[in-house]
Amino acid sequence: MRVLITGSDGQLGTDLCKVLNNHTLIPLTIKDGDICDFSFVSNQFNRSKPDVIINTAAYVRVDDCEDNKELAFQVNAIGARNVAVVAEKLGSKLVHISTDYVFGGETTIRYVPYTEFDEPIPCNLYGRSKLAGEKFVIHLCSKHMIVRSSALFGTAGAMGKGGNFIETILRIATENKELRVVNDQIFSPTFTQDLALRISQLIETDYYGTFHVTNSGICSWYEFAVQILAEAGYKNDVIPITSAQFPQKAARPRYSVLDNFHCRLLKFSEMRDWKSALKEYFVQRGYTGK
C-alpha cells in the first residue's frame, strides 16, 4: 500500500515510518508543508495518491493552546478537516491521531476507564480543539479510523514539546536531588512503537470508527517518574504533590484512562503493559536498564 504520513519526523511519525517500511511510504515532515493550507494538502495528496493517510500532525502544547486558541483550532480542527476532505475525494483510508484529553471535563471525577462509546467532555482548550478535529473526520471521511492514545513516549521525542516526560525526568534527576511530581492525574503511558504496530494492524482491515490504543496498566505522573528513575538506577527522592500544588494554565483530566474496548471486541491482542514498554524504551535509547 501507499501510505502517506503527516508529521513523519515527529515522535509517533518516526516509529510509523519504521514499522510500515514494508509499504511505499510518503513521509511529510513539518517542513514539507502545513495541513492548515488546503491547497498544499490537496495538491500533495493528489500527486501522491495514497491508499492510506495517517495524520499525526497536531498542536500539542497543552498550556500554550489556552493562549493560542486560533492556532490550536487551525491545526487540530481545520487541518484535520482539510485532510479528511481530500482523503474522502481520493477514497483513501484515514487514520487520525487523537488524545485522551477529549475526556476529563465532567463535573465529578470518574474512576472507570473510558471506552470509545463514552461521550467526550474535554476539560481544556487543547482537548476541545482535538475533539473538533475528530468531528470533522467523522462527518467528512467515510473510511476513517480515529485513534486516541495517551501520554506518548518514543525514542525520537516529541518535536512540539522538545522531548518527552521520560527525558525531562532524567534531566531533572541529574540536576536536582529531589523531584516533586503530580500524583492525582491518572492515565496509561503509551510507547509510540507499540501504537505504531497497532496502527499497522488496523490499516490492513476495513474496521472503521474510533479506537483507543494505549499500553495496559495505569499510573500517575508520580508513579511514572518513580518507575523511570528505578529503571535508570537513580536514587533521587520523589515527592508526590497535588495538581493544586503544581498550577498550570490548562486544566488536566484527573482520570483519563482509555479502555481499548473496540480493539478487544475485534479480538486484537492486548497491548503490553507500560512498564515493559518503558524497559524497551531504555534499551532502544541505549540507557542502562534493569
Q: CA of 195: how far to CAs of 19, 56, 152, 200, in Å? A: 10, 12, 9, 9
- The count of other CB atoms within 10 Å of the CB of residue 81 is 21
One-letter-per-residue 3-state SS of the chain: CEEEEECCCCHHHHHHHHHCCCCEEEEECCCCCCCCCHHHHHHHHHHHCCCEEEECCCCCCHHHHHHCHHHHHHHHHHHHHHHHHHHHHHCCEEEEEEEHHHCECCCCCCCCCECCCCCCCECCHHHHHHHHHHHHHHHHCCCEEEEEECCEECCCCECCCCECHHHHHHHHHHHCCEEEEECCCEECCEEHHHHHHHHHHHCCCCCCEEEECCCECCEEHHHHHHHHHHHHCCCCEEEEECHHHCCCCCCCCCECCECCHHHHHCCCCCCCEHHHHHHHHHHHHCCCCC
Q: State how far the Cα of 16 lies from the Cα of 91, in Å rounded to an integer.
A: 21
Query: Hey, which residues are catalytic here?
Result: 126
Q: Is residue 83 a contact partner of residue 41, using CB atoms and an 8 Å limit?
A: yes
Q: Is the dihedral of CA 284, 220, 245, 66 positive or negative?
A: positive
